[in-house]
Structure 1
Amino acid sequence: MKFNNTLITSAILSSLLISTGVSAIDETESLRQRSQDKHSFTSLSIDLSGKSGNSDKEDFSFGIYHSERRDQHFGFVMASRDYAKSNDVKSEDSSFLHARYNYYFSKTEAFEVFAQSNTDDFKSLESRNLVGVAYRKEFSEKTTAGLGIFQEQEEYNVNGQKVEFDQTRLSLYWVTTLPLANGAELSNTLYYQPDVTKFSDFRAYNRLAIKSKLTESLSLKFGLLVEHDSQPVLDVEKTDIKYQAGFSYEF
């Protein structure tokens, strides 16, 4: 499969982004629904917010996604970065990089190979790297499910000490999109990732999003992400809830 230079450029840019430290709402599935039938697709998103006066706060999020489709072959790369500071104290600094290749052996079924890397300074996650495979079933243009398995390696910095984990997890995902009036759409993406040796150790992610078109390429978007880790490494809350609003540009 030959991807053009744009995909290579996007991968390089993604690597630069993650080296500076990133995170963001993981919306790879909702993006790929809109992109997988197009030969080439790129999406850029940015979220900015701030406050000054009695308290000073600033939030920044940036994301880039690029995909290529050639007959039965489909691939994409996505990177994102989140940074937040309140009263000169950093409250978030995380990163996300994901690459995936799909081979469609039927019109609605595909074999997937994927790799991911992310960091989260606020959770003392120095690095999380994983590789995996999955089976993907597309029930319709707007509803998809997948079942896979991946091997991950994590490194945490706990009180100045390096703590490492090597785990194998299942990955189940389900995504659906509901068209609304005037070009808007409501989407929901759910991930469930249990440890294969201990199902009580699991991670779950659910993202609900609304996207409304302002022009053919520019959209206003709102997102609500709920993340749950049944066994966090640090003494932190098991569930995080995050909301965002911003713009995305697709071409």
Structure 2
Amino acid sequence: MRLNISVMAASSHTCCVKPSLPLNVAQQKRAKALSILLSAFLMPTAHAIVNIEEMRGPPQTDGLTGDASLSMSGDAGNTRQSHLSASSQFFWQRGAVTKLIAADYSYGENSRHRNTNKGFVHLRYIKQQTPTRALEVFTQAVRNEFSRLSLRTLIGAGTRLTLHHSRNDAVHLGAGAFYLKESQQARAGLSDDGTEKFWRGNFYLALRYQINEQVRIVSTTYYQPALDNGHDFRLLEEASLKIKLTDALNFKLTLALTHDSEPPQAVEKTDINYKTGIEYRF
């Protein structure tokens, strides 16, 4: 089990559908955060698309491993804001089979007004069929008040192919599909509330490159088109740069871009989030 203690600075921006709309000033401010994480692997935030690649750890022996994390931040005085996030995940591995359960929840307020309320639960079954091919079956529940997402539940399956793997780099390709049920919150003046049921494809490309002994880059791109509407798709690009400072200390920078081509009414199409931090392991 590894203990990660991270001091994180985080910020997020929303890209507007209409360029003329001004950005929220609060979105442009870097939040001061102090995070103490007890974890085996880093957990992601609750994006509309959950990046499972951030949860995958190094090969392990048979048995149970897991983690739990808690992050709190806040400001008082001229600016009054607070943020809390908690997450956990557990891996059960036996031979070629791995079972994963993960959960994440975030809540925040600004000047006593709630501005974050989102979370997810994810379960996954992974069967390594050959050294280069794995079968994955998964189910998931997601909610995000400020994306008007009351609840999204889904179940799906896919194949993960290892196209290249060496000491310094790796390339993985995933392909599959899932069936989802999505409920939008009702809001005065809007007309798209209700529940939809449909299929989406699920494709991803994961890249890892070790530049040298100190620097590593990881990039994951997800593409999820609606199978009955080629104009409706969701996209996530998440890239991270990790610099090894000492055997126990790393500097990490993460940038994530999430795009929904047909978002709910009054919700922007694109979100951008970045985090920087120091990671200590022992």
* 2:187 counterpart (155, 159, 168): 159
38-47 or 98-107: bigger deviation: 38-47
209-218 or 84-93: bigger deviation: 209-218
> What code does the residue aligned with 2:256 have?
L
Corresponding residue of 1:99: 123
Corresponding residue of 2:83: 59
Judging changes above 3 Å, is the alpha-carbon distance between structure 1 residues 154 and 248 closer, same or farther for their aligned structure 2 residues?
farther
Q: Please give the secondary structure, in 2, of the residue aligned with 1:158.
A: coil
| In the alignment, structure 1 residue 111 sits paired with structure 2 residue 141 | no
Shift of 1:131: 0.2
> What code does the residue aligned with 1:158 have?
A
C-alpha separation in 1, matches of 2:248 and 2:265: 42
Aligned residue runs from structure 1 range 8-23, under 5 A: 23=46
Whether contact under 8 Å (1:41, 1:250) holds in the other structure is no
Superposition RMSD in Å: 2.9
Aligned residue runs from structure 1 range 23-34, under 5 A: 23=46, 26-32=50-56, 34=57
Judging changes above 3 Å, is the alpha-carbon distance between structure 1 residues 221 and 62 closer, same or farther for their aligned structure 2 residues?
farther
Shift of 1:144: 1.1
C-alpha separation in 2, matches of 1:48 and 1:212: 25
Shift of 1:35: 3.5
Aligned residue runs from structure 1 range 166-185, under 5 A: 166-179=197-210, 185=216
C-alpha separation in 2, matches of 1:228 and 1:73: 33
Corresponding residue of 1:202: 233
Judging changes above 3 Å, is the alpha-carbon distance between structure 1 residues 207 and 180 closer, same or farther for their aligned structure 2 residues?
same
Whether contact under 8 Å (1:44, 1:248) holds in the other structure is no
| In the alignment, structure 1 residue 244 sits paired with structure 2 residue 268 | no
Whether contact under 8 Å (1:115, 1:129) holds in the other structure is yes
Judging changes above 3 Å, is the alpha-carbon distance between structure 1 residues 249 and 76 closer, same or farther for their aligned structure 2 residues?
farther
> What code does the residue aligned with 2:262 have?
Q
C-alpha separation in 1, matches of 2:127 and 2:230: 30
Deviation by residue 1:119-142 (Cα, 9 ceiling, x = unmatched): 001112111000001011012443
C-alpha separation in 2, matches of 1:44 and 1:246: 18
| In the alignment, structure 1 residue 226 sits paired with structure 2 residue 270 | no
Q: Please give the secondary structure, in 1, of the residue aligned with 2:55.
A: helix
Q: Please give the secondary structure, in 1, of the residue aligned with 2:79.
A: coil
Q: Please give the secondary structure, in 1, of the residue aligned with 2:146.
A: helix
| In the alignment, structure 1 residue 150 sits paired with structure 2 residue 161 | no
Identity %: 28
| Gap regions ≥5 residues in structure 1 | 1-21
Shift of 1:176: 1.6
Deviation by residue 1:36-83 (Cα, 9 ceiling, x = unmatched): 444344344444433233222223333222223222212212211222
* TM-score, structure 1 normalization: 0.79
Shift of 1:195: 0.3
190-199 or 176-185: bigger deviation: 176-185
> What code does the residue aligned with 1:93 have?
N
Whether contact under 8 Å (1:153, 1:165) holds in the other structure is yes
| Gap regions ≥5 residues in structure 2 | 1-44
Which has a greater percent of helix? Answer: 1
Name which one, 1 or 2, has greater alpha-carbon Rg.
Answer: 2
C-alpha separation in 1, matches of 2:140 and 2:124: 9
Corresponding residue of 1:15: none
Shift of 1:179: 2.8
